[in-house]
Amino acid sequence: MHKTRLQILICGGTGCISSGCLEVEDALVAAMEKHGIRNEATILKVGCFGFCEQGPIVKIYPDNTFYVQVQAQDCEELVTEHLLKGKHVDRLLFKSPLTGELCHHHMDMAFYKTQLRIALYHCGVVDPENIEDYFGVGGYEALAICLTEHSPEKIIEIIKESGLRGRGGAGFPTGLKWEFGLKNASDKKYIICNADEGDPGAFMDRSIMEGDPHAVLEAMAIAARAIGADEGVVYIRAEYPLAVNRLNVAINQARKYGMLGENIMGSGFNFDVHVHLGAGAFVCGEETALINSLEGLRGEPRLRPPFPAQKGFWGQPTVNCNVETYACVPLIITKGPDWFKSVGTPKSPGTKVFALAGKINNVGLIEVPMGTTLREVIFEIGGGIPNGKKFKAIQTGGPSGGCISEKDLDVGVDFDTLTAIGSMMGSGGMIVMDEDDCMVNIAKFYLEFTVEESCGKCTPCRIGNTRMYEILERITKGLGKPEDLVELRELGQTIKDASLCGLGNTAPNPVLSTLNNFMHEYEAHVLHGKCPAGACKDLVNFVITEKCIACGLCVKVCPVSCIHPTGTEMPNGKKKFVIDQEECIKCGACIPKCPPKIGAIIKE
């Protein structure tokens, strides 16, 4: 049965690798060898546990202890205390910031309590580089059912019945998409997996591919069986080397066991998958642009119709879904559509994975039932805003989404509610902003991204967004005029209506939503020449107040030497410092240098 008494799981996602999990693995092996108990434990690198803020994470079974922020130098103590004596190493346990209690199990943490994993079901449980683990948890059983029990029509009926909607952005019903794929007759059809996760701040698809690649492959095979395709492509960002590698390992293992290839499980059904590297173009998340890119062309969107289900890759019927959508499919088949529907909201069943980041205590990857409120996500799972700052906005949907303010925090999140409040689901990035973030500047940040990523094919998107960007640039420099605010709205609406593809249709959302929810900030910039958050450099001056004690710490760090002793003379004869506003580049380096109890340097 168990090969070893203990199993030690180390989070091997990109986040934890960046924080040093590979060194932890080496140190753990070395310490166990030193104490002669290497044979007592199996060490596995698994997919993302989600709590990236606390990485690297080490989980020890069977007592299921969850250690956080483990560094290589901690491993000796982990071995001598936990493995040798069975004692918890308290200093490596997560301490609840609210109660101060130590959490031994992950379910003790507020971060995990309300989460429910469907797309991430086996992520952090199975070894992603070992298909045997996936077999062990019942992997490829759903495909076997689809090959032996279900007709293509029946598979599509199940997916339609489950109410599964595309997790890549627009939320189109997946079953319907597959039905179109089946009905368009052809002797060659394709299945595509869109893994070109380009939203800044979104990493859910990458985590699924790194943590549970076989679930995606299995689902692609099921989709292929449903529409009658025999070839699949995963279009993945070249910037995700670990995910690419794990996917390739998984494909090779699946071929060896005959889960991909010819005559799968003796059923006569053939299907194989290969990986295609993207090359860094956000617009390729749009399915027709993605297909152009697959064909070796510039990734510009095509006119629709014809839709890909009619004429897609190489002109053949093609079904394209995103990674997270596929990841839900095997469980829907094995557990049934009713089980899936029992989670979430009537119109958006199931769960959604979000990448929670920005000004939030618990940055990480979370999966919650649709309908969970933003307030729960931010203040319970996310643990609130760091450093006692005040919440200002949450941005969902990346560059296509909008900024949601305090007043809408009690909305339960699903595809339709987010659209109704001027944002969108997008792929599921959630960025939290606090009082120090200027919403005009944030809108400009997103628009800069869109302007750079616009493919240039249609005019509203190419020129309209550039004009909007110029206006925002003016406003953040204090040169905005009241009529600019009207023009921003008009331009934004026109671009939404007239653009060719989803990128242009949604590009103005960050601007329009901030105009709706944070008009007062725009007005402060335009009417009063002030940036309330103090983020727009041209509208802020750094000033040294009378609190200055002439210690000179700020002078040392000023990169342009613009702080001079030319102020009021003090009793000891020294003169207080003054910042020369002409020379100041507003880098802000001086502020943290001023001792907090003095606090003489302020922004105004």
Partner 1 sequence: MAKVNSREELKALREKYRDNVIMRLVSDNAASRVEILCVVGKCGTEAGARDIMKVIFDEVNAARLEKVSVLVADCSYGCDNADAPKIDGNFACGSDKVVDVVFPGEAPVRHMKVDAAKAKEIVRGIAARLEGQHA
Partner 2 sequence: MEKNEKALYAELDAYIDAMPTKQGALISVLHKAQDIFGYLPKEVQTHVADKLDVPASKVYGVLTFYSFFTMTQKGKNRVNVCMGTACFVRGADKILERFERDLNMKANTTSEDKLWSLDALRCIGACGLAPIITVNGKSHGRLVEDDVPGIIASCLEEKEGA
Residues within the interface to partner 1 (CB under 8 A): 1-3, 5, 7, 9, 37, 61-64, 83-87, 105, 107, 125-126, 132-133, 135-141, 144, 147-148, 256-259, 261, 265-266
Residue 492, token pair as written in the block: 């934004």
- What does the alpha-carbon distance between residue 478 and residue 321 come to, in Å, rounded to a whole number? 44
370 binds partner 2 (CB under 8 A): no
Residue 4 to residue 37: CA distance in whole angstroms: 11
- Residue 427: exposed, middle, or buried by beta-carbon count in 10 A (0-12, 13-18, 19+)? buried
Stretch that binds partner 2, among 175-183, 265-273, 279-287, 332-340 (CB under 8 A): 279-287
Sequence-distant (6+) residues with CB within 8 A of 309 are 177, 180, 181, 184, 317, 318, 319
- Of 8, 281, 443, 471, the residue at the interface with partner 2 (CB under 8 A) is 281
Residues 417-446 touching partner 2, rule: CB under 8 A, are 429, 431-433, 437, 442, 445-446
User: Considering CB distances under 5 to 8 angstroms, the limit depending on partner class, which of partner 1, partner 2, none binds residue 259?
Assistant: partner 1
CB neighbours (10 Å) of residue 107? 12
Instruction: Indicate the SS3 state at residue 1.
Output: coil
Which residues in 216-255 contact partner 2 (CB under 8 A)?
Answer: 238-240
Tell how strand 429-434 and strand 391-396 pair up.
antiparallel
Which of 455, 468, 471, 515 forms a contact with partner 2 (CB under 8 A)? 455
Three-class secondary structure of residue 108 per DSSP: helix
> Angle, nearest 10°, between helix axes 519-528 and 509-517?
80
Q: Nearest distance from residue 28's CB to partner 2, in Å?
A: 21
Site membership for partner 2, residue 388 (CB under 8 A): no
Separation between Cα atoms, residue 153 and residue 602, nearest integer Å: 67
Binding at 517: pick from partner 1, partner 2, none (beta carbon under 5-8 Å per type):
none
Token pair belonging to 404: 């949601």
- Window 26-65: contact mask with partner 2 (x via CB under 8 A): --------------------------xxxx----------
Q: Which is nearer to partner 2, 323 or 433 (CB)?
A: 433
- Please identify, using beta-carbon distances, which residue of 265 and 591 lies nearer to partner 1: 265
Nearer to partner 2 by Cβ, of 543 and 591: the residue is: 591
Query: CB of residue 65 vs partner 1: minimum separation in angstroms?
Result: 10
Q: Write each residue from 515 to 554 as x if it is in contact with partner 2 (CB under 8 A), else as -, in one continuous string.
A: ----------------------------------------
Of 109, 226, 240, 215, nearest in space to 159 by CA: 226
Reading the block at residue 559, the tokens are 């990169």
CB 319 within 8 A of CB 329: no
CA distances from 103 to 107, 183, 244, 387 (A): 8, 53, 34, 22
Tell me which residues touch partner 2 (CB under 8 A): 14-15, 18-19, 52-55, 197-203, 206, 238-240, 276-282, 293-299, 314, 355, 357-359, 363-364, 395, 398, 429, 431-433, 437, 442, 445-446, 455, 559, 587-589
